[in-house]
Structure 1
């Protein structure tokens, strides 16, 4: 015949269940004594025994928490000793790895001439998978370190680790650098067209397609002029604002659209220049063309790489502007 266990017996059983066998008897005896004393004190004050027992056990709380205290076992995944290191590493990895994965997959899919929908979906899925793996495996490593009471050395903080102050606006040096770079870009376009970076047998071979002059290059000159005006406005404003970040985004995307549209139409690079490269490559170039025929040939692959290079630069310029805007607003 079995007897119904009291609340106290059930509570003690739930508490010692997760403890090591060597400690169970001692904890049982300690709990039985302390619970009995607490119940007796309440009964002496006029409470009913059953109500007193329920009140005492309620005050003791979740038996799992109590057991963790006896076992000196933390009730968290990552404690304060490792938390900041885990969080900084996780943020760093999430900032870099998913973007690299997305870009690499998109680049590979584009080179293989996959449909646009497949490029987008495959890239997003790959980046999402990278995020999940980073979060899981990074956290798992630190959970293991926490649970094993690892003595892994954590870099001790000192004042030398304080971050340098960041500029949220544009100083005179940045303005001059921006204007000089834009001026060099304009000069390089004129030099390529009229003097030539490549001269073969006394003949100038422009790198940029001469057919873009004057209208196609005129659009680029307008974008360059807008960039110069933006640099001056940013310098006079002395700080990034939401309006400036939006303007910077529009200008960057307009430039990227100009480049990508011409690359897709095979109108950015001078066909004569490409033909001379192919002729200079000889049999080696022909063999490379044959091997990459499924991807559209070497020139298409180079065009894709060039487009992705511009996209990376434009993307960083946009992100940097919004980061500086957020910093300026916090300041």
Structure 2
């Protein structure tokens, strides 16, 4: 049974309230809220309300758990005033976690394709990401200051009970099955590419991956996949993320990234015969593309850069997702 079906609104509300409090205060606040909410619900039940309606009414009267938590922690919310402060902070966090990363990746990708030096790529990307951070902080804050100072009646991100987050990050059976199925498909794809081929020429299969990667290179990849499967099983049995699980996930993700990038940079990842087939099949159109992209190293180099950045982005998200889930589970 999933957490959504077994976790009551009261439990979710209390979890959302105490998650930002210090560990020392969480137990006392939880006990106080449980008692006060239970008393308020009982009072409404005595008046003839249903338990579901009474619970929603009591929690709605308590309001946004972020505001309630600020009161328990004696934390002021007057940077922009209490009306817009929490919305401003939520919007700013989302923008800062996404936009600078995208800017850095796009600038680094463009610099790499253009053949810039490593130092230039790093420096330009960091400067661009830093500029994005400054602009985000300034313009987002300015918009909310204008809304507040102008006395705007605009309602932004109005809170209601349906926005309550789940109290913890659990690892369910669905996640385990999805991970094992994906790894099984990946292993099948490797074997099919090696022994049957996805491109058939004159009745013969043409592998996409370099046959020279067999057996040792592919063997290392298969070991990484087995480790990923064991990790998925261990995570399911434990039931939730923690720091140790996040570390293991990071190591496995970086191992996979290294496996892809090393042969990609040395030109040993893709079968040379497959690349030659693409050149022959492309004819004059491919030759024109090669000429137009000669300053960037040709079509294949651009594709290799795009592949490398795509894999790195996926690995980066996997690592970040693991640490975010571990942090949420620790707070819960």
TM-score w.r.t. the length of structure 2 is 0.74
How do 1:42-121 residues align onto structure 2 when only pairs under 5 Å count? 78-121=80-123
Q: Distance in 2 between matches of 1:243 and 1:77?
A: 37
Contact 2:79/2:85, CA 8 A, preserved across alignment: no
Equivalent residue number for residue 162 of structure 2? 160
Q: Distance in 1 between matches of 2:164 and 2:247?
A: 31
Give the Å deviation of 1:167. 5.4
Equivalent residue number for residue 267 of structure 2? 266
The verdict on how the C-alpha distance between 1:251 and 1:193 changes in structure 2, with shifts beyond 3 A counting, is: same
Report SS of the residue matched to 1:204. strand
Q: Distance in 1 between matches of 2:317 and 2:217?
A: 25
Give the Å deviation of 1:77. 5.8
Number of residues paired by the alignment?
255
Equivalent residue number for residue 176 of structure 1? 177
Give the Å deviation of 1:303. 0.6
Give the Å deviation of 1:179. 1.2
The higher relative CO (CA closer than 8 Å, separation ≥ 6) is in 2
The verdict on how the C-alpha distance between 1:77 and 1:245 changes in structure 2, with shifts beyond 3 A counting, is: closer
Q: CA RMSD in A?
A: 1.5
Unaligned runs of 5+ in 2: 1-77
Equivalent residue number for residue 316 of structure 2? 315
Contact 1:98/1:131, CA 8 A, preserved across alignment: yes
Contact 2:179/2:229, CA 8 A, preserved across alignment: yes
The verdict on how the C-alpha distance between 1:182 and 1:321 changes in structure 2, with shifts beyond 3 A counting, is: same
2:284 maps to 1:275 = no
Contact 1:169/1:239, CA 8 A, preserved across alignment: yes
Give the Å deviation of 1:154. 2.9
Equivalent residue number for residue 219 of structure 2? 218
Equivalent residue number for residue 19 of structure 1? none
Give the Å deviation of 1:198. 1.0
The one of 109, 131, 134 equivalent to 2:133 is 131
Equivalent residue number for residue 301 of structure 2? 300
**Deviations 1:16-68 (CA, angstroms, capped at 9, x unpaired):** xxxxxxxxxxxxxxxxxxxxxxxxxxxxxxxxxxxxxxxxxxxxxxxxxxxxx
Q: Distance in 2 between matches of 1:113 and 1:222?
A: 34
Give the Å deviation of 1:84. 2.0
Equivalent residue number for residue 42 of structure 2? none
Contact 1:198/1:206, CA 8 A, preserved across alignment: yes
**Deviations 1:169-210 (CA, angstroms, capped at 9, x unpaired):** 322221122111111111110100111111112121101111
Equivalent residue number for residue 245 of structure 2? 244
The verdict on how the C-alpha distance between 1:273 and 1:93 changes in structure 2, with shifts beyond 3 A counting, is: same
2:194 maps to 1:193 = yes
Q: Distance in 1 between matches of 2:96 and 2:202?
A: 53
Give the Å deviation of 1:211. 0.9
The verdict on how the C-alpha distance between 1:77 and 1:173 changes in structure 2, with shifts beyond 3 A counting, is: closer
Q: Distance in 1 between matches of 2:305 and 2:192?
A: 26
Report SS of the residue matched to 2:185. helix
Contact 1:170/1:238, CA 8 A, preserved across alignment: yes
Q: Distance in 1 between matches of 2:240 and 2:88?
A: 33
Q: Distance in 2 between matches of 1:166 and 1:257?
A: 35
Moved over 6 A (4+): none
Give the Å deviation of 1:107. 0.6
Contact 1:77/1:146, CA 8 A, preserved across alignment: no
Q: Distance in 1 between matches of 2:288 and 2:271?
A: 22
Give the Å deviation of 1:215. 0.9
Q: Distance in 2 between matches of 1:208 and 1:285?
A: 21
